[in-house]
Amino acid sequence: MMVVRTEDATSRTDGVQIVAAVAWRGVLYGITDGLLLSAFPILVVFAAFAGTRLSGRFIGKLTIGVVALAASLAMTAVYHAGYSDFRSEKIQKPLTGDVLWSAPTLLTLNPIGAPIAHVGLHTSAVLHSYETDTFLPPHK
């Protein structure tokens, strides 16, 4: 929904090239982004607080979750700020998206949730808005 509602449909390649684009720009890039930008920082924060008094109470777990989401947002912001075209209001899209695709990992502490959600986003972009400069690499 994030791609389809915010980006216009564009023409795309077909045949073997679209299969390769889905595999590379959709699946592989999506898995990598989901793991590095969302799952990794979330799980590091939860691991850092494992076994503490804070992790034993509901409010403590909620607090750890907020800190974990902040870490994921920070990682996403720093990564995207490395691209000059994201040093604008355009950075809001990946930050908003990070909240959505981090939710499965935050709720289950299973690292596979964020990459699956991220693959969905990037694959949708390949199929719907192949020429987007927001959702697909390479960026300017």
The confidence score (pLDDT) of residue 41 equals: 97
Report, as an integer, the average pLDDT of 76-99: 88
d(CA 93, CA 20): 25
Q: What is the mean pLDDT of the chain?
A: 86
88 versus 62: the higher-pLDDT residue is 62
The confidence score (pLDDT) of residue 132 equals: 67
Report, as an integer, the average pLDDT of 71-95: 90
Residue ranges with strand state E in the chain = none
CB atoms within 10 A of CB 77: 16
Nearest Cα to Cα of residue 81 among 72, 91, 96: 91
Residue 119 has pLDDT above 60, yes or no: yes
The confidence score (pLDDT) of residue 63 equals: 96
Residue 5 has pLDDT above 80, yes or no: no
Residue 77 has pLDDT above 60, yes or no: yes
Band (pLDDT 50/70/90 cuts) for residue 125 is confident
pTM of the model: 0.81
d(CA 115, CA 27): 9
Q: What are phi and psi of 112, to 5 degrees?
A: -80, -20
Report, as an integer, the average pLDDT of 33-44: 95
